[in-house]
Every structure is written in structure tokens, then in C-alpha cells.
């Protein structure tokens, strides 16, 4: 119990005294995860909508696959991305291993299925309502998808935030492909893993508190921004 | 979708920021946990203008990273594997830098009476005799390999230690010490990790000093003929520094909680 309270105080001390290392780590955590969420949303949201609108042969299988991939073990993704980006691997020539880019790639793989699955559920429900209208207006497929995505934007925000939540708290993949290098690829979660390994539980708890606070702040911020649209019915 | 791809590429490019003159070195957890790197790296940067990025992993993984050419040099501590690595052409040569030692840690009431052991093998035989709980790394690291060699030399009645008392954590030194602390188990640790470990609980140092427990660290630059992209000139500059007089002084005088950790023993060329 003592170490938990100690961790709480450590967290405040770190934040209030503007520990530069901590702010560097926080900034990198945000940079990696926000970039990954943006890329994964650009891929995942259209896939989700496409699966809701389109009827094709193996649709059910693809949806089941996507749902199953939501549970991808990060450490396996990490190993896979490591083998891809390793100098001995097929994409080794780019020299991306142990860089923030490698961490972004791993996180995109982890959260794209999650974002696509949730957005598929959301858009599917809306498509049931809009189906007759959009068909009667003789819209193209692209128009349908963009209309559906736009009109369910607030629910899709949940999909994006779920992706953010999974990515910001992820450690198994990014510690393998990022290498947890001080001042280069160290983020909050890998720093927590490191301090736990050193037996510095209070400090690790402190970093954990910072991580939770960061997630809350980001979520509150996003919810505040979307409140500006309260007038719209959807 | 075309726009999506452009944003994707742009975002990846922005994410990979520009690099200064850096060298990547895979080091073992025991070296990193000692805190010595926090003394050496700033000095290296000041003297050579070289930023050394450490990838902290087990010896097994460090050797894999070196073989794949993902790092420029490695600093590890398992001689047989190191010599295989150099013989296999993955490294140019092996240079010994310093050593510390492994120590036996265990519960303070010491049910296996390790304080009276007269050798590392005797210590293990005592643990085996009373089947006292023992936490093993179990992860093919340098420390784990050292432990397995000692068990082998201890000539147990079974081929390998096994049973409820023997717990293979399959984890890093710190995580294994956490396991041992939680179960009040015996554990073999490098001295550096033990001294800087913050969650000792009821554990104490019970046995050390057998020369069989010496833990030699060696530096191996990755072979540039195999991997043309590695910074082999930088690796050689770093080697000169690590084996030089200044490094000798910093390494020898480094202490944790007032205890000496490393003995510098690099041969001058």
C-alpha cells in the first residue's frame, strides 16, 4: 500500500518539477500513438464502412477475421515487425528498426483491426436506417460511404479513442521494435517496464499514474471538442 | 484513398526525425542495471562527440541483433557464445573490457545454509539437498547459461534441476529478482543488478567469491563485410575509448552503495 501512495506522490513531484526527461517521454508517447491512431483511422474507418455497405462473397469471413485480429497479441506483432524491419529482413534497407517509425508501424497493425471492427458495427447500424434513402438518391458507393462516415462521426470517435487507449498503454510490441533507447525510443510504457525490472516500484507506479492522467486528458479534450456540435441531431 | 496514402507516407517521414552521429550497441540487462552506462555515456559523448544508443536485452537476443546487423556492436558476457559469434564471422573480434561477479541471493533465514558453502557448486548442491525454492532466469541469457553450467557441474541425481522447488521465470534479471522476492526464493544474480535492485524484501546476499562466478564482459564490433551499413569506424573509436585509461579509471572507481562493482581488465594493444 505504501508504494502505491508513494507512486502517487512521485507522479506529482515529477510533473510539478517539470522533469525534462519525463516531458520528453510523454511527448514521444503522444507523438507515436497519435500518429499511429491517425494512420490506423485512415485505413480502418473506410474498411469498416466498406464492409458495412458492400456485399461480397467472403464478407462474413473477413468480418470474423477482423474481429479476431482485435485480440492480436502485441508481442507477436512486435516480433513480426522486428523481422520485417531487421537488416536481415525484407524491409531492412530502410533502417527503420529501433526508431519511432518502427513503433508507429507496430501500433498501426495492432489498432487498425480494432478501429475497423468498431466502425463496421457503427456504420452497419446507420446503414440500416439510411439504406433506402441513399439507394433512392442514386448515390455512388463512395458517396454512400462518406455520408455514412460523416453522419456517424461521433460514434466513430469512440472507435478512434478505443484505438488510442490500446496504443498508448501498449508495451509488448514497441519494446521489441523500439528498443526502449533512452532519449530516442523510450516511451511511458517501456519506461514503466524498465523501472519495474529494476524493482523501483514506486517510480514505476508514478509513471503509470502519469500515463493514466495523460489518457484522461486526451479523452476529455476530444470530448470537449466534439461538444461544439451539440446542435446537430446526429 | 489516394490522399490517405499520402498522409500515411508523410506521417511516417515526419516521425523518423533526423539522426546525429550515433552508434547502436546491444548490451545486457546486467550492465545497464548497474548504472555504469549513465556514467560512461555522457563522457563518451563529451570526448568523442558520439551518441551511443543502448538496446538493453539478454545476451541471447543481443547476439541475434548483432547477427542480423541491427546494431553496430555488442557488449555481452557469455564467452562460449561470443567466440562462436566471432568464429561465425558475425563479429570482427572479441575484446575483454571488465568483469564483475555473480552472487547467490536468498531468504535471510537461509534454509539451505548457503552462508557455509565453500564453492558455487557446493551452494547449488545445498539448495538441491533441501529442495529450497529457487528462481531461475530460464531465458537463455548469459546469467541463465552460467547457472545451467553450474548445475551441470554439480552432478545432481536428475539430469537437470526440476520439481516444484525450481521455478524458471523466463524473464529478465530484474523480473526474476522480483519473482524471487515474492516467493522468498534463492536466485543467482549478477552483483550489479542485485545492488541496484529496489525490491529486496527479505532477500540477502548469501554467497559470493568463487572464481567460477566471475562474469567477464566483452565488446564485439559487428562485421562490416557482412553488413556494410554498420558504423564500424565508430565502433573501433568506441573500443579504443572503452579500453583506454579514462574508461579504466571510471569503471574501477564506480561504486553502488559504496561497493565496487567492476574490475577493469582490458589488455592494451
Residues in CB range of B80: below 8 A, 6 or more apart: B145
For residues A202-218, give the mean pLDDT: 91
Q: pTM of the prediction?
A: 0.82
> Which superfamily is assigned to B101-213 in CATH?
Periplasmic binding protein-like II (3.40.190.10)
**So what's the ipTM on this one?**
0.75
Interface residues from chain B to A (CB-CB < 8 Å)? 1, 4, 7-8, 11-12, 14-17, 24, 29, 33, 53-56, 67-70, 172-175, 177-178, 181, 196-200, 227, 229
Contacts of A88 in chain B (CB under 8 A): 67-70
Instruction: Report the number of distinct structural domains present in chain A.
Output: 1
Domain carrying residue A135: 2-224
Mutation for B interface: A24, A198, A200, A201, most B CBs within 10 A: A198
Mutation for A interface: B4, B10, B12, most A CBs within 10 A: B12
pLDDT range class, residue A15, cuts 50, 70, 90: confident
Contacts of B1 in chain A (CB under 8 A): 46
The CATH number covering residue A58 comes to: 1.10.3720.10
Q: Domain for residue A229, yes or no?
A: no
Question: Which of A87, A89, A100 is facing B16, going by the closest CB pair?
Answer: A100
pLDDT range class, residue A233, cuts 50, 70, 90: very low
Contacts of A199 in chain B (CB under 8 A): 174, 177-178, 181, 197-200
d(CA B255, CA B242): 18
pLDDT digit string (tens) for B58-115? 888 899 999 999 999 999 998 889 999 999 999 999 999 999 999 999 999 999 999 9
Task: Look up the CATH number of domain B2-99+214-264.
Answer: 3.40.190.10
C-alpha separations of B260 from B158, B192, B254, B263, B264 in Å: 38, 9, 6, 8, 11
Residues in CB range of B54: below 8 A, 6 or more apart: A181, A182, B25, B26, B27, B32, B37, B41
Does the pLDDT value for residue A215 go beyond 90? yes
Mutation for B interface: A197, A202, A203, A206, most B CBs within 10 A: A197
Q: Domain for residue A234, yes or no?
A: no
pLDDT digit string (tens) for B142-197? 899 899 999 999 888 777 788 889 999 888 888 899 999 989 999 999 998 898 88
B2-99+214-264 and B101-213 share one fold? yes
Amino acid at each position: 500500500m505504501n508504494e502505491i501512495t508513494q507512486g502517487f506522490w512521485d507522479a506529482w513531484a515529477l510533473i510539478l518539477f517539470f522533469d525534462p526527461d519525463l516531458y520528453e517521454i510523454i511527448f514521444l508517447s503522444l507523438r507515436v500513438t497519435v500518429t499511429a491512431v491517425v494512420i490506423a483511422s485512415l485505413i480502418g474507418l473506410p474498411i469498416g464502412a466498406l464492409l458495412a455497405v458492400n456485399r461480397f462473397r467472403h464478407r462474413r469471413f473477413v468480418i470474423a477475421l477482423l474481429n479476431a485480429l482485435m485480440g492480436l497479441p502485441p508481442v507477436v506483432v512486435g516480433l513480426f515487425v522486428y523481422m520485417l524491419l531487421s537488416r536481415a529482413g525484407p524491409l531492412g534497407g530502410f533502417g527503420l528498426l529501433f526508431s519511432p517509425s518502427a513503433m508507429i508501424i507496430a501500433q498501426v497493425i495492432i489498432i487498425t483491426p480494432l478501429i475497423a471492427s468498431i466502425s463496421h458495427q457503427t456504420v452497419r447500424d446507420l446503414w440500416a436506417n439510411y439504406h433506402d434513402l441513399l439507394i433512392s438518391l442514386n448515390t455512388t458507393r463512395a458517396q454512400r460511404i462518406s455520408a455514412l462516415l460523416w453522419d456517424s462521426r461521433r460514434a466513430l470517435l469512440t472507435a478512434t479513442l478505443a484505438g488510442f487507449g490500446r496504443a498508448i498503454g501498449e508495451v509488448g510490441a514497441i519494446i521489441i521494435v523500439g528498443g526502449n533507447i533512452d532519449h530516442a525510443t523510450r516511451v511511458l510504457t517501456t519506461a514503466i517496464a524498465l523501472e519495474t525490472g529494476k524493482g523501483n516500484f514506486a517510480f514505476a507506479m508514478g509513471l503509470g499514474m502519469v500515463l493514466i492522467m495523460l489518457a484522461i486528458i486526451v479523452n476529455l479534450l476530444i470530448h470537449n471538442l466534439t461538444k461544439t456540435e451539440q446542435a446537430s441531431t446526429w | 484513398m489516394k490522399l490517405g496514402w499520402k498522409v500515411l507516407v508523410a506521417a511516417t517521414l515526419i516521425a523518423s526525425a533526423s539522426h546525429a552521429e550515433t552508434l547502436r550497441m546491444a548490451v545486457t540487462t546486467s550492465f545497464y542495471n548497474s548504472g555504469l552506462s549513465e556514467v560512461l555515456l555522457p563522457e563518451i559523448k563529451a570526448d568523442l562527440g558520439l551518441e551511443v544508443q543502448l538496446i538493453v536485452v539478454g545476451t541471447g537476443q543481443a547476439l541475434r541483433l548483432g547477427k542480423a546487423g541491427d546494431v553496430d556492436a555488442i557488449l555481452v558476457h557469455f564467452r562460449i557464445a561470443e567466440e562462436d559469434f566471432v568464429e561465425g564471422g558475425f563479429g570482427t573480434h572479441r575484446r575483454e573490457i571488465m568483469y564483475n561477479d555473480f552472487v547467490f541471493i536468498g531468504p535471510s533465514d537461509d534454509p539451505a545454509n548457503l552462508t557455509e558453502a565453500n564453492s558455487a557448486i557446493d551452494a547449488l548442491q545445498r539448495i538441491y539437498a533441501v529442495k529450497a525454492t529457487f528462481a531461475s532466469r530460464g531465458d537463455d541469457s548469459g546469467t541463465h547459461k552460467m547457472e545451467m553450467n553450474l548445475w551441470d557441474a554439480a552432478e545432481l541425481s536428475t539430469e537437470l534441476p526440476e520439481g516444484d522447488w525450481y521455478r524458471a521465470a523466463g524473464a529478465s534479471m530484474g523480473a526474476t529478482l522480483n519473482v524471487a522476492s515474492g516467493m522468498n526464493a534463492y536466485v543467482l544474480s549478477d552483483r550489479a543488478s542485485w545492488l541496484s535492485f529496489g525490491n529486496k524484501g527479505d532477500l540477502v546476499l548469501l554467497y559470493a567469491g568463487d572464481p567460477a562466478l566471475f562474469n567477464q564482459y566483452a565488446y564485439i564490433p559487428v562485421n562490416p563485410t557482412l553488413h556494410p551499413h554498420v558504423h564500424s569506424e565508430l565502433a573501433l573509436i568506441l573500443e579504443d575509448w572503452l579500453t583506454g585509461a579514462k574508461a579504466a579509471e571510471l569503471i574501477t572507481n564506480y561504486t553502488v552503495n559504496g561497493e565496487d562493482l567492476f574490475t577493469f581488465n582490458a589488455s592494451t594493444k
